[in-house]
């Protein structure tokens, strides 16, 4: 089920899209102009926003531009104009798709489903490679750790330890488990090695050391 925002000054347009969307089980909110759409997008999260280009107070292109300043919600643009220039301008503004009036409600719903599914797949792929926790950003593919916009300088083993903790976030991990998974079964040493590296890692994470929680008598957990 998607949460959809429809912004169009024509009530009949809003009604027909709402009817088809609700029939498919989606939740629909309405805005009568671009200004209202921006405020609603600012205060609520939607899976997709449908904007008419020609709206009072704030047109669809301007509304999309404002929304993009604080949200990356997918946008489907509606327009009575079919000129290529308008479409290209819309895509440059960050519009995900474009439907020309008069349109088939079934086509609009098909485009909505395609856009939302594509966006969710992209977000899942990105979240698998990059994870953010407040001002702490971890890029697994690039092997980078960013703290409040600055790249952290960690040792190779600190990277390995942090990455393993994050990939298993909110899971209690014993010292032995960390030794086995991060250092390897053939490591010669004891679990005090874990404590030493955790201490150094915490120092490098600054204010975000709070995410690494000590489990007394057991081990550690990356808790969010």
Boundary residue ending a domain (93, 126, 159): 126
**CA dist list (Å): 87 to 18, 98, 189:** 24, 7, 63
- Per-residue confidence (pLDDT) for residue 127, from 0 to 100: 52
Task: Tell me the two tokens of residue 165.
Answer: 């903790």
The answer to whether the beta carbons of residues 7 and 77 sit under 8 Å apart is: no
Task: Tell me the two tokens of residue 49.
Answer: 């926003």
User: pLDDT, tens digit, for every residue of 1-20?
Assistant: 899 999 999 999 999 999 99
Task: Tell me the two tokens of residue 55.
Answer: 């709206």
- Per-residue confidence (pLDDT) for residue 128, from 0 to 100: 58
- Per-residue confidence (pLDDT) for residue 80, from 0 to 100: 81
- Per-residue confidence (pLDDT) for residue 129, from 0 to 100: 81
- Per-residue confidence (pLDDT) for residue 31, from 0 to 100: 97
What phi-psi label fits residue 73: left (phi over 0), alpha (psi between -120 and 50 degrees) or beta?
beta
The answer to whether the beta carbons of residues 79 and 54 sit under 8 Å apart is: yes
Q: Do 9 and 118 reside in the same domain of the chain?
A: yes
**CA dist list (Å): 39 to 34, 44, 68, 116, 223:** 9, 9, 12, 21, 33
Boundary residue ending a domain (97, 126, 155): 126
Boundary residue ending a domain (99, 126, 153): 126
- Per-residue confidence (pLDDT) for residue 143, from 0 to 100: 87
Whole-angstrom distance between the N-terminal and C-terminal Cα of the chain? 27
Give the CATH number for residue 185. 1.10.10.10
Give the CATH number for residue 118. 3.40.50.2300
Rounded distance between C-alpha atoms, residue 13 and residue 104, angstroms: 11
State the residue range of the domain holding 175.
134-222
Q: Do 74 and 156 reside in the same domain of the chain?
A: no
User: pLDDT, tens digit, for every residue of 195-206?
Assistant: 988 999 999 999
Q: Do 181 and 210 reside in the same domain of the chain?
A: yes
Which residues of the chain carry a pLDDT beneath 50? 186
Q: What total of structural domains would you count in the chain?
A: 2
Q: Do 97 and 13 reside in the same domain of the chain?
A: yes
């Amino acid at each position: 089920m998607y949460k959809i925002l429809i912004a169009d000054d024509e009530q009949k347009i809003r009604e027909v899209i709402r009817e088809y969307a609700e029939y498919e089980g989606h939740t629909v909110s309405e805005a009568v102009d671009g200004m209202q759409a921006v405020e609603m997008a600012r205060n609520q999260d939607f899976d997709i926003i449908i904007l008419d280009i020609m709206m009072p107070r704030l047109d669809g292109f301007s509304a999309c531009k404002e929304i993009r300043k604080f949200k990356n919600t997918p946008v489907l643009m509606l327009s009575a104009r079919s000129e290529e220039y308008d479409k290209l301008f819309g895509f440059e503004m960050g519009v995900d798709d474009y439907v020309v009036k008069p349109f088939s409600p079934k086509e609009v719903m098909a485009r909505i489903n395609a856009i939302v599914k594509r966006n969710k797949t992209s977000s899942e792929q990105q979240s698998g490679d990059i994870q953010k926790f407040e001002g702490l950003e971890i890029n697994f593919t690039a092997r980078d750790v960013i703290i409040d916009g600055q790249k952290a300088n960690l040792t190779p083993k600190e990277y390995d330890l942090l990455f393993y903790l994050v990939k298993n976030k909110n899971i209690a991990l014993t010292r032995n488990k960390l030794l086995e998974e991060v250092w390897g079964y053939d490591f010669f040493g004891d679990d005090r090695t874990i404590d030493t590296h955790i201490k150094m890692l915490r120092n490098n994470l600054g204010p975000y050391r709070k995410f690494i929680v000590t489990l007394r008598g057991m081990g550690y957990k990356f808790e969010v």
